[in-house]
Structure 1
Amino acid sequence: MSRLTARGLTLAYENRVVVEDLDLAVPDGKVTVIVGPNACGKSTTLRALGRLLKPVRGAVLLDGEELAKLPTKAIARSIGLLPQTPVAPEAITVADLVARGRQPHQAWWKQWSEEDERAVTEAMARTDVAALADRSVDELSGGQRQRVWIAMALAQETDLLLLDEPTTYLDIAHQVEVLDLVRRLNRSRGRTVVLVLHDLNQAARYADHLIAMKAGRVVTQGPPAEVVTDAMVRDVFGLPAVVVPDPVTGSPLVVPGAPWEDRDSAPAGAADQIEG
């Protein structure tokens, strides 16, 4: 089953087609990760799934209805989207920005409630930004800002959550924290999550469903153990590599070929490892 689907989707920026005739079904209740080389259309596809980009042809469907025909507020109550480069209003505090995630739940007859307060407090705690509540977002580091944006998306409390490169600007410890948070949201609350990630090993470790894109098309998709192979990495990324089991999780682990060395000074045979 899939609440969120794309049929015959063609996406473009002005006259430059980025994604063409794409069919996609996001598995309900799963963590889906989209991977692929730069400029392959993965972030563009995510923008279309969140109605930030109007299709040239085809349609995105939510519960069988075209996204383009649904009221914006209705979409915002079902789909939470964190784009790649969000922009915060000048001088806004962390608490106020996270609270904006509750706007889809507001109405003239229903103002700020205890439920809104709970959602914001919980989102800030989960992303470790509660101590920053009174700070201006402008003053924060890149990693801190990213966690605040994720908190805002979590406060929206939608069943579908779309995150475009949510680990950008984060150190390795916070990358793991964010991805573990995504996994917990999925496992404990049944959230359907779609992520765009650059790190193929992180994608293989955290995804239930992996989609590999190249040149605006889906090359392959399915469980990471079936998708991440030596041949796929070479075909999609142009990278000679071997895929071995992750020693911790058993998920596919991509080991690139040997780094370049000066053949005149390297030990015999060292530069030939994993070149095939």
Structure 2
Amino acid sequence: MSRTSRLTANRLTLAYEDRTIVDQLDLEIPDGRVTVIIGPNACGKSTLLRALGRLLRPQGGAVLLDGTELARIPSRQIARAIGLLPQTPVPPEGITVADLVSRGRHPHQKWWQQWTEADEKAIGEAMERTGTAELADRPVDELSGGQRQRAWIAMALAQDTEILLLDEPTTYLDIAHQVEVLDLVRQLNRERGRTVVAVLHDLNQAARYADHLIAMKAGRIVAQGPPADIVTADLVHEVFGLASVVVPDPVTGDPLVVPSRPWQPPSEPGTATPRATERDAAPAGQA
């Protein structure tokens, strides 16, 4: 990286009991950029994000914020700097959307001043941006999956941190709301300079919205950099085991991953077998 990063990992080792997930990983998160982590299931991307948000204690190495180990920083101080939306958050029983979102303001409040105009403004703006204002009085556990996800995102936005960690923020959302959420993430980054780190499953969405892409496999970083520089058919095959063609997105020009031809039934006797094109026959990375 050409400049100092506020959030870094140094020889980071992460494990669950005796199973090592990430082993001696070094990482620098670019400040003021949208970083997206991609990779197959169980590759360690969500585990890494949990460690960056101090939800998981390292077995070795450290995560550092402004050069200081997270383990040495008071929790409230971390909560003012890093907001985290985990993959499957569980709300307190019976809590309403408005109450849930308001909890994002707790790190900013003091014992002698529990509520301010800044809190009110941050909560209202977060709910407006996520389309949850009309759900304010609804219990969170009565919402649909998509509505619930938007409520959690609103809470993370209300926390108003300079670094925002999002673990699969588009889970349970239909395609229109997925785009809305990712557009919101980009808007927060571009207009307010927020540093965002997100885990996404959709490689094409990652390539479209990321400034910096991190591709992981088996607990290690295979490649990282701007999507245009690293997203190739060879990388897709190495990380996901998928044969594909990578072409420019017709709207944005970003890399667009097109999987190989879908399965087709065998030709019936007496009919001609469709002839494979040169592109169909080419191995990954040579199409």
Normalising by the smaller structure, the TM-score range is over 0.9
- 1:72 match: 75
Give the one of 34, 45, 49 matched to 2:48: 45
Residues of 2 paired with 1:186 and 1:101: CA distance? 19
- Total equivalences in the alignment: 276
User: Matches of 2:161 and 2:90 in 1, distance apart?
Assistant: 21
Amino acid in the other structure paired with 2:146: G
The aligned runs of 1:155-174 (5 Å cut-off) are 155-174=158-177
**Paired amino acid for 1:260:** W
Of 250, 268, 274, the match for 2:274: 268
Residues 240, 274 of structure 1: 8 Å contact kept: no
Any conservation in 2 of the 1:257–1:273 contact (CA below 8 Å)? no
Larger Rg: 2
**Given that residues 9 and 23 in structure 1 are in contact (C-alpha distance below 8 angstroms), is that contact kept between their aligned partners in structure 2?**
yes
Instruction: For residues 47-68 of structure 1, give each alpha carbon's deviation from its aligned partner in whole angstroms, at most 9, with x where no partner exists.
Output: 0000000000000000000001
> 140, 151, 155: which one pairs with 2:143?
140
Q: How does 1:61-210 map to 2 (within 5 A)?
A: 61-210=64-213
Coordinate RMSD, CA, aligned: 1.2
Deviation of the 1:269 alpha carbon: 2.0
- In structure 2, the residue matched to 1:22 is 25
3-state SS of the aligned residue for 1:77?
helix
Structure 2 unaligned blocks of 5 or more: none
Structure 1 residue 273, shift from structure 2 partner: 5.7
Shift of 1:143: 0.3
Is 265-274 or 99-108 further displaced after alignment?
A: 265-274
**Long gaps (5+) in structure 1:** none
- Tell me which amino acid in the other structure corresponds to 2:204: N
TM-score by length of 1: 0.98
Once residues 269 and 67 of structure 1 are traced to their aligned partners in structure 2, the CA distance between those partners, rounded to angstroms, is 58
Give 2:36's aligned residue. 33
SS in 2 for 1:48: helix
The answer to whether structure 1 residue 8 and structure 2 residue 11 are counterparts is: yes
Q: Is residue 2:64 matched to residue 1:58?
A: no
Report the alpha carbon displacement of residue 110 of structure 1 after superposing the two structures with TM: 1.9
How many angstroms does 1:227 deviate by? 1.1
TM-score by length of 2: 0.94
SS at match of 1:274: helix
